[in-house]
């Protein structure tokens, strides 16, 4: 028996199922069952770096519900183990039909156990028994000692444990089940459950029961003959085939009863006092939920109270409003004298290019707890007289523009952009706390609330406390200035305190060059790009919308014709009925609403019938139309007449930039229709768009890092690297490489970078796992330096727990410390991929900084507009386009010295499609 951790508060008073006055309450959570339910209930959720978290999130929501809605005095979470139990000794086929857990679920098992431990809930498991047996034993023991018991599960097997003091709670459905609720399903109380399941069996656990007997038939038999043994004694009276099946399978049913009956007398080396609920470990919980990007759960759990005894670095006692010019003069003087200050803006929108300034927050680097809020656009009945934006610009503008006075912010790119749109000039940006957190610990959350909890033991006032939520949410401009003062001034104060801590972490961790030479200078570059925006051809978008609508209508007619019936193409339930019930195609997993019809299912069926193939095309067009063709013109800024994206530096753990609102990095370009969207990104009159794209940059970085002679030589000779690889792998001359060989070689080249398994490669190339493994083995034989590099990288990652890029960007890989092989394998793929992908991200960032300064310093007639993966897009005066292309190519290719040449391909045109 293994046990871990202790536990926190809770209280079952829901719908009077449990006595709310009962002060001895034991909650027993069926952990293993809940993991799978959460995994399938919450779909497609992961952290920014791709770690799947849907099951963890669902599990965390269940835990939160128990904490918030109840208050168990005692609690335990019980898990199964992978070891055989006594049931396997009774029947070696027990659970033999169980599939391996889904790949996306495997890395989450250990995270959920960490979550339980952070909540300080007792964690129980036993190698010889199942979770049900531990639950049964503890349930009986607790009732005997006067406890009310709540079993948190929906597992029908556990219904046999219910009684006057034992209830079952399904937190996903908010459903309580007691002994009186079993009659409709089992024809009796808890004592009837085992007999029903013995007759009916259980396909999920491979319990045989009696073939052909389901639960309803089992209930009828038991109603007629009273008990399982009664059924056997009167088996000769049961007529027809049912009687034959019962008579032929009596021993099978008796065996099944032994398998489904829960053991309730285990020898557990603990007392109920060991299950007493205790306070969560807030530090561990904060760290874990921050890492998993679930910080909002902390607000829901209200850790502020739990942390009240911890000394905070923040005092709100010296925050001051600035409502007149005389006081503003004094405040500006303090900032100037200090030589550095934290700045934060309150606005009306998250879109920095459209946000109106509501107020300015300042906190000088002078060691005091004083912070100021300068309201400029609050609007509500009774609002005091405020300074105007023009007055603030006149007074504050000079020190903002002074490069000698340091400015510090949390996500200062946002504030910088808002300042620019309000005609403020800002120089001297010295630090960004969000960026510093990202550089120091990329896998953590970098929001102010998370950073404040982590480093200052302080929970800031929530934005929702100021504005409300949902339909009743108001603009920050409607918040009374006295209330806004505490929230806004605190932002600047917290930012200043975080600055000192994170500045030291940047230096102590060896991140100085990465932070001050790449990440921080990039803020100015991105600010300029975001405020500039890109021009769209709205008329072309209208044409594309009409064409897409016609295409969708045509596809709908074709699908209906092939299906032989009209149905709603956007209804997965109706599509499933067509594919699997009407057309008889082989089905896969069923969901609560019907058959699964996701992309993977349709791709599997595409060569078996026209409907799934046409549905894939329909869905692609539908997404294209809704996400880009119809949406992008609606996002044009009415002030500028341009489309403005937001570049995020702190999402991807590899260092890559991400684009959002809108995401311009995911426009599909492999289809003609996707490429036509790029035609609608245009240059204004007298200018052209210039595209500059790194060629195979990650493969070149791999050749450099691996030092593989064959790859290095191929790149120096300017060979087609995929053709060269194909020649090596397939043992032919380069001129004899077929298109199929080159395609397979390209998949191998990039598969090596991303740690692709033979199984995945075999699926992608449709050649099977065995053949794919042969390709990989041959590749490593020919390019042995790559194999040595990969092995060395994985070995070093296991030793250190992290990997780095050429520029010193570190990525911690906690998955390498996991106990299960699937999670470790995931971590090893991260270890291999990050040095290449992260270095590529660093290289293009360095190129952007160099190009930005050349354009600004030399006042060149060109503007950097977009960054999409390994491509930069510029607007250039027509007369300067050739010179501009040469300049961009030279700077991008010369940004770093590698053992192989960096190659940049440039082209230009009237629109992005022509330029690319």
List, as one string, the DSSP characters of 460-472: PPPHHHHH--GGG
The residue written with tokens 């400015």 in the block is: 407
Q: Which of 17-31, 125-139, 663-677, 871-885 has the lowest mean pLDDT?
A: 17-31
Whole-number pLDDT of residue 556: 95
Q: Give residue-wise pLDDT tens across range 286-325.
A: 888 878 878 777 766 654 544 444 456 688 889 999 999 9
Distance between CA atoms of 856 and 850, rounded to whole angstroms?
10
Contacts of 610 (CB under 8 A, 6+ apart): 558, 562
pLDDT > 50? residue 585: yes
Does pTM surpass 0.85?
no
- At a CB cut-off of 8 Å and minimum separation 6, what does 388 contact? 376
Please check whether residue 453 is in contact with residue 286, taking contact to mean a CB–CB distance below 8 angstroms. yes
Q: How confident is the model at residue 48 (pLDDT cuts 50, 70, 90)?
A: low
* pLDDT of 741 over the 90 cut: no
Question: Residue 581: what pLDDT?
Answer: 86
Q: How long, in residues, is the chain? A: 916
> Environment class of residue 670 by beta-carbon count within 10 Å: exposed (0-12), middle (13-18) or buried (19+)?
exposed
Instruction: Give me the chain's average pLDDT, please.
Output: 88
What span, in angstroms and rounded, lies between the C-alpha atoms of 669 and 111? 37
Q: Does pLDDT of 483 surpass 70?
A: yes
Those residues with Cβ within 8 angstroms of residue 37's Cβ, 6 or more apart along the chain or in another chain: 58, 154, 172
pLDDT at 394: 96
Q: What is the pLDDT of residue 743?
A: 81
pLDDT for res 464: 85
Looking up tokens 């656009």, which residue turns up?
377
- pLDDT value at residue 866: 96
160-191 pLDDT, tens per residue?
999 999 999 998 888 899 998 898 888 888 99
Is the confidence at residue 49, as pLDDT, over 70?
Answer: no
Which residue would you say has higher pLDDT here, 903 or 823? 903
d(C-alpha 214, C-alpha 197), whole Å: 9
Q: How far is CA 451 from CA 286, 539, 556, in A?
A: 10, 46, 50
pLDDT digits (tens, 9 = 90+) for 383-415: 999 999 999 999 999 999 999 999 999 999 999
Q: φ, ψ for residue 504 (rounded to 5)?
A: -70, -40
pLDDT of 737 over the 90 cut: no
Q: In 433-571, where does DSSP find H-type helix? A: 433-440, 448-456, 463-467, 481-508, 512-513, 520-532, 538-563
Instruction: Give residue 14's pLDDT.
Output: 38
pLDDT at 33: 87
Say what the pLDDT of residue 283 is: 78
Mean pLDDT to the nearest integer, 500-511? 95
- For the chain, percent of residues with pLDDT exceeding 70: 94
Q: What angle do CA 131, 137, 140 make, to 5 degrees?
A: 135
Task: Give per-residue pLDDT as tens, 332-377.
Answer: 999 999 999 999 999 999 999 999 999 999 999 998 999 999 999 9
Band of pLDDT at residue 206, cut at 50, 70 and 90:
confident
10 Å CB burial of residue 24 (0-12, 13-18, 19+) is middle
pLDDT reading at 857 higher than 50: yes
Average pLDDT on 765-775 reads 79
Q: Which of 455-459, 521-525, 592-596, 837-841 is the least confident region?
A: 592-596
Say how far apart CA 56 and CA 108 lie, in whole Å: 6
C-beta of residue 835 within 8 angstroms of C-beta of residue 806 = yes
Is 594:573 a contact under the CB 8 Å cutoff? yes
pLDDT of residue 803: 93
For residues 108 and 45, the answer to whether their CB atoms sit within 8 Å is no
Task: Give the C-alpha distances (Å, rounded to integers) separating 86 from 118, 129, 132, 585.
Answer: 31, 7, 13, 40
Residue 670: band (very low, low, confident or very high) from pLDDT cuts 50, 70, 90: confident
329-350 as b/e: b if 16+ CB within 10 A: eebbebbeebebbbbbbbbbee
Listed range (306-320, 421-435, 538-552, 792-806) with the worst mean pLDDT? 306-320
């Amino acid at each position: 028996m293994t046990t871990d951790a202790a536990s926190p508060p809770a209280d079952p008073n829901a719908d009077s199922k449990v006595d709310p006055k009962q002060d001895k309450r034991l909650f027993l959570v069926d952990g293993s069952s809940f993991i799978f339910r959460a995994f399938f209930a919450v779909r497609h959720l992961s952290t920014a770096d791709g770690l799947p978290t849907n099951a963890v999130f669902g599990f965390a929501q269940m835990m939160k519900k128990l904490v918030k809605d109840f208050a168990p005095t005692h609690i335990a979470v019980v898990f199964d183990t992978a070891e055989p139990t006594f049931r396997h000794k009774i029947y070696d086929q027990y659970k033999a039909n169980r599939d391996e857990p889904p790949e996306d679920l495997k890395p989450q098992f250990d995270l959920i156990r960490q979550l339980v431990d952070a909540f300080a809930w007792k964690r129980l498991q036993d190698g010889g028994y199942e979770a049900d047996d531990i639950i049964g034993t503890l349930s009986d023991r607790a009732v005997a000692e006067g406890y009310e018991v709540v079993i948190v599960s929906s597992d029908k097997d556990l219904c046999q444990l219910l009684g006057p003091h034992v209830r079952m709670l399904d937190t996903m459905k908010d459903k309580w089940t007691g002994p009186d609720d079993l009659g409709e399903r089992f024809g009796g109380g808890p004592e009837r459950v085992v007999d029903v399941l013995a007759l009916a069996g259980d396909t999920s656990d491979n319990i045989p029961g009696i073939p052909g007997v389901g639960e309803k038939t089992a209930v009828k038999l038991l109603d007629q003959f009273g008990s399982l043994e009664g059924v056997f004694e009167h088996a000769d009276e049961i007529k027809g085939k049912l009687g034959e099946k019962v008579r032929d399978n009596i021993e099978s049913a008796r065996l099944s009863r032994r398998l489904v009956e829960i053991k309730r007398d285990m020898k557990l080396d603990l007392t109920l006092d060991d299950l007493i609920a205790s306070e969560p470990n807030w530090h561990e919980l904060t760290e874990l939920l921050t890492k998993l990007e679930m910080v909002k759960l902390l607000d829901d759990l209200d850790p502020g109270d739990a942390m009240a005894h911890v000394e905070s670095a923040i005092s709100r006692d010296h925050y001051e409003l600035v409502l007149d010019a005389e006081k503003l003069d004094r405040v500006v003087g303090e900032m100037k004298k200090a030589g550095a200050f934290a700045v934060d803006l309150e606005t009306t929108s998250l879109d920095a290019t459209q946000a109106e300034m509501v107020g300015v927050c300042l906190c000088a680097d002078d060691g005091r707890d004083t912070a100021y809020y300068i309201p400029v656009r609050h609007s509500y009945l009774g609002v005091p007289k405020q300074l105007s934006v023009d007055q603030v610009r006149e007074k504050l503008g000079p020190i903002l523009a002074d490069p000698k006075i340091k400015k510090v912010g949390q996500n200062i790119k946002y504030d910088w952009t808002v300042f620019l749109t309000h005609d403020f000039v800002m120089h001297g940006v010295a630090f960004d706390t969000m960026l510093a957190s990202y550089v120091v610990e990329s896998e953590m959350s970098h929001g102010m609330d998370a950073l404040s909890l982590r480093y200052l033991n302080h929970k800031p006032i929530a934005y929702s406390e100021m504005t409300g939520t949902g339909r009743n949410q108001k603009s920050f401009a409607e918040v009374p200035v006295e209330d806004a003062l505490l929230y806004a001034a605190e932002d600047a104060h917290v930012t200043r305190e975080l600055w000192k801590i994170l500045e030291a972490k940047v230096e102590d961790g060896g991140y100085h060059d990465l932070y001050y030479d790449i990440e921080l200078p990039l803020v100015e570059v991105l600010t300029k790009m975001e405020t500039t925006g890109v021009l769209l051809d709205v008329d072309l978008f209208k044409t594309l919308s009409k064409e897409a609508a016609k295409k969708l209508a045509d596809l709908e007619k074709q699908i209906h014709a092939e299906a032989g019936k009209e149905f709603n193409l956007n209804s997965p339930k109706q599509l499933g009925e067509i594919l699997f019930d009407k057309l008889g195609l082989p089905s896969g997993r069923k969901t609560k609403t019907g058959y699964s019809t996701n992309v993977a299912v349709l791709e599997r069926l595409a060569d078996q019938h026209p409907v799934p193939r046409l549905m894939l095309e329909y869905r692609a067009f539908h997404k294209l139309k809704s996400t880009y063709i119809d949406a992008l013109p609606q996002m044009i800024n009415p002030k500028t007449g341009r489309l403005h994206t937001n570049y995020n530096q702190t999402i991807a753990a590899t260092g890559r930039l991400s684009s959002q609102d809108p995401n311009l990095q995911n426009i599909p370009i492999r289809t003609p229709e996707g490429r036509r969207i790029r035609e609608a990104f245009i240059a204004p009159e007298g200018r052209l768009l210039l595209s500059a794209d790194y060629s195979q940059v990650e493969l070149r970085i791999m050749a450099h890092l691996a030092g593989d002679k064959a790859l290095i030589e191929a790149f120096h000779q300017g060979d087609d690297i995929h053709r060269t690889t194909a020649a090596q792998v397939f043992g032919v001359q380069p001129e004899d490489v077929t298109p199929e060989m080159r395609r397979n070689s390209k998949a191998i080249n990039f598969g090596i970078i991303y740690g692709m398994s033979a199984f995945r490669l075999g699926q992608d190339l449709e050649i099977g796992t065995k053949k794919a493994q042969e390709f990989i083995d041959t590749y490593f034989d020919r390019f042995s330096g790559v194999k040595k590099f990969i092995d060395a990288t994985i070995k070093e990652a296991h030793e250190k727990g992290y990997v780095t890029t050429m520029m010193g960007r570190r990525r911690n890989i906690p998955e390498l410390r996991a106990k299960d092989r699937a999670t470790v394998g995931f971590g090893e793929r991260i270890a291999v991929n990050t040095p290449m992908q992260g270095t590529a991200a660093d290289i293009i960032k360095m190129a952007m900084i160099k190009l930005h300064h050349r354009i600004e310093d030399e006042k060149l007639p060109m503007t950097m507009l977009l960054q999409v993966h390994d491509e930069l897009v510029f607007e250039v005066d027509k007369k300067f386009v050739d010179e501009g292309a040469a300049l961009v190519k030279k700077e991008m290719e010369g940004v770093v010295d590698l053992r192989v040449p960096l190659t940049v391909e440039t082209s230009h045109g009237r629109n992005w499609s022509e330029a690319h």
